[in-house]
Amino acid sequence: MELLHKRILQDGKCFEGGILKVDSFINHQMDPTLMKSIAVEFVRRFAGTNVNKIMTIEASGIAPAIMTGYLLNLPVVFAKKKKPSTMDNMLHTQIHSFTKDRTYDVVISNDFLLPTDNVLFVDDFLAYGNAALGVIDLIKQSGANLVGMGFIIEKAFQEGRKMIEEHGVRVESLAIIEDLSNCTISIQK
């Protein structure tokens, strides 16, 4: 996605340990026009599938997910990183965060993830794939069908795609970062 590639090269910043900071347009301040274009591209790539629900995980997945849900006129549900005291019927998994170096609990109500659902999962980053594996676990527990996973940015050198594809799940990433070493952002053409 040319527009996104240009923006990453223009405003993205790399940090030690293979971290790409895009907080001026995705992770902190957000660019709604770019976010809409991102959602249009997700809709294009998953056209012809039978998706009836968009799923994401808080917090940075919510913006692209809601834009995608809006365009498709579909409900959007997000997995929560803290269990609300009012949530009864919930599915639970654990995810290890490489950026924060900790393991956290993730929950989702099984009122909003049903065995009849065909789910498209949307998130900001695919790195080692731990968040994605947690999501695959939640979806498996719910009995829903996972149609595919769409990421704004994939860091190919951290190999999360391999883990997801081993579960037979389709992956679409709008920008694939091949390398961040020497603080040079290299994006797959």
Backbone angles phi, psi at 91, to 5 degrees: -100, 145
Mention every residue, 6+ apart, whose C-beta is less than 8 A from residue 50. 118, 147
CB of 15 to ligand 5GP, least distance (A): 8
129 is in an annotated binding site: yes
155 is in an annotated binding site: yes
Q: Which of residues 21-40 bind ligand 5GP (CB under 6 A)?
A: 21-22, 27
Decide: helix, strand or coil at residue 42: helix
> 145 has which bridge partners?
118
Among 1, 4, 20, 63, binds ligand 5GP (CB under 6 A): 20
Among 131, 138, 164, 176, binds ligand 5GP (CB under 6 A): 131
**Cα(first)–Cα(last) distance of the chain, in Å?**
9
Q: Which of residues 79-118 bind ligand 5GP (CB under 6 A)?
A: 97-99
Supply angle C-alpha 94, 121, 89, rounded to 5: 50
83 is in an annotated binding site: no
Which of 129, 150 has the CB closer to ligand 5GP? Answer: 129
Give yes or no for residue 19 binding ligand 5GP (CB under 6 A): yes
Mention every residue, 6+ apart, whose C-beta is less than 8 A from residue 59. none
CB of 131 to ligand 5GP, least distance (A): 4
CB of 59 to ligand 5GP, least distance (A): 8
CA–CA gap between residue 32 and residue 8 (Å, rounded): 15
**Contact positions toward ligand 5GP, by CB under 6 A?**
19-22, 27, 60, 97-99, 123-132, 155, 160
